[in-house]
Amino acid sequence: MNQTNPTNDGRNISDKANESLDVLKNATTDEYKYGFVSDIETDIIPRGINEDVIRLISRKKGEPEWLLEFRLAAYRHWLTLKMPDWAHLKIPKIDYQAISYYAAPVKKESPKSLDEVDPELLKTFDKLGIPLEEQKQLSGMAVDAVMDSVSVKTTHSEVLAEKGIIFCSFSEAVKNYPDLVKKYLGKVVSYRDNFFAALNSAVFSDGSFVYIPKGVRCPMELSTYFRINAAGTGQFERTLIVADDDSYVSYLEGCTAPMRDENQLHAAIVEIIVEDRAEVKYSTVQNWYAGDKDGKGGIYNFVTKRGLCRGDFSKLSWTQVETGSAITWKYPSCVLAGDNSVGEFYSVAVTRNRQQADTGTKMIHIGRNSRSTIVSKGISAGYSENSYRGLVSVAPQADGVRNYTQCDSLLLSSTCGAHTFPYLDIKNPTAVVEHEATTSKISEEQLFYCNQRGIPTEEAVGLIINGYAKEVMNKLPMEFAVEAQRLLQITLEGSVG
């Protein structure tokens, strides 16, 4: 009954040897399983940007006058700005007149039920693992699905409404809760903040709006899934999260895009306001298309994310797993204005092939006894460039501030670059600020040790990388952690060499 050992004759062994070579080849030749394009009737406005385009976007969205004025002011300010060039990035010249600033799947006016949503759209999100149909919806997670410029569907809104939680697309928020939007829009990230923030403020199309009322603990994860589908467009969404006193919310963001030879621009803004004793956890798994192995195509991910911990004892925690995008420029930050407020930043940034990332955080301590933790794990492979850039600043009146920063780099090739740019601006002598940094490689010894125990190299690399990134992965909500781990593994297959 002993089954014959499949490798007991020489022929099978050499077959197997060939097979494992194939596996290696397949793994190194890039696979991005979200690279498909959906055939959806899309309303795209002509390329280019000017005041008429902005008026057109505003009109298409049926916006109030004050919002149009906000957009126009942002646009006029943007015209005076130059693209930032201080990052450790080589950004090809972007022709802002060659981009279409609005693309929306054609639909009837705000679908009331899913029957009115294009089946092709549902299929697309299904394929991305985000089912929108009622019976298939992910339990324990409410999703706002954004395709190109508009929100397609927000799930579970009714359940949340019972608790007074508002979770809807930005456009709906403008219509239904104009006072809230007006009160908070641009208060954390002003359109004067930077070039991309100004551009976004002028042309932003949709995004998510979250309001958690006083004392409410949001019973499920809130999540926005961003999908770019149309060619020749950019995506400029805005997310605004307000956590009122004593509330809690965990928010997740995921993103993918088709594989295209052109570069597409994604310039988003996320603003978060955290009031007294409230807590917000914001997690991102960013998997925009990264371009091919020679660096052709891919998303430019130029994002401004900032939270204001306005309340005493408020807490904001950013966790990001960045594996996609051709170029990433992003520094999710915390303004720790409240006394005893807490900011956290946990990041894994993976770059390979010709990807470039300049990412990190700013912890701005204004409140007394405010604390922050920064854990950044860079993983670089191929010919990529991976930089951590972080600022810790302490205002003169902020007594008793503590910061701990840990900044690790893992190099998987001898042709990649890893850089660390920490900035400290400490104006109060009572501050305790620590910075630790390491650089390491996956050693031949580690790989051989795994091999000897029967673990193939590809899998061993996955294990070692997930081990390296564990501290950050542990911070992700369960639903996301498994997905993110798998993503890390897939992304780095065949990258060691």
Partner 1 sequence: MDNILLKVENLHAGIEGKEILKGINLTIRPGEVHAIMGPNGSGKSTLSSVLAGNPAFKVTEGSATFHGIDLLALAPEDRSHEGLFLSFQYPVEIPGVSMVNFMRAAVNAKRKYFGEEPLSAGDFLKLMRQKREVVELDNKLASRSVNEGFSGGEKKRNEIFQMAVLEPRLSILDETDSGLDIDALRIVSAGVNKLKTNENSTIVITHYQRLLDYIKPDFVHVLYKGRIVKTGGPELALELEEKGYDWIKQEIDNQ
Which residues are near partner 1 by CB under 8 A?
5-8, 10, 13-14, 16-17, 20, 443-446, 448-457, 459-460, 463-464, 466-471
Least distance to partner 1 from the beta carbon of 409, Å?
A: 14
Neighbours of 479 (CB within 10 A): 15
* C-beta closer to partner 1: residue 326 or 350: 350
Least distance to partner 1 from the beta carbon of 456, Å?
A: 5
* C-beta closer to partner 1: residue 122 or 472: 472
Token pair belonging to 213: 């009322």
Least distance to partner 1 from the beta carbon of 286, Å?
A: 22
CA angle at 283 for the pair 282 and 284, rounded to the nearest 5°: 125
Least distance to partner 1 from the beta carbon of 24, Å?
A: 11
Closest CA to 331 of 365, 305, 355: 305
* C-beta closer to partner 1: residue 433 or 490: 490
* C-beta closer to partner 1: residue 328 or 457: 457
* C-beta closer to partner 1: residue 405 or 485: 485
Least distance to partner 1 from the beta carbon of 441, Å?
A: 13
Q: Where are the alpha helices (DSSP H) in 141-299?
A: 157-162, 170-176, 178-184, 195-203
Least distance to partner 1 from the beta carbon of 452, Å?
A: 5
* C-beta closer to partner 1: residue 397 or 438: 438
476 within 8 A of 283, measured Cβ to Cβ: yes
* Strand 207-212 relative to strand 166-169, pairing: antiparallel
- 52 burial (CB, 10 Å; 0-12 / 13-18 / 19+) is exposed
Half-sphere exposure of 400 (CA within 13 A, CB side): 9
Token pair belonging to 322: 């960045």
Number of H helices, E strands in the chain: 12, 23
* C-beta closer to partner 1: residue 158 or 445: 445
428 within 8 A of 401, measured Cβ to Cβ: yes
CA–CA dist 402, 437 (Å, integer):
18
Closest CA to 392 of 414, 411, 370: 370
Beta bridge partners of 330: 303, 359
Least distance to partner 1 from the beta carbon of 496, Å?
A: 13
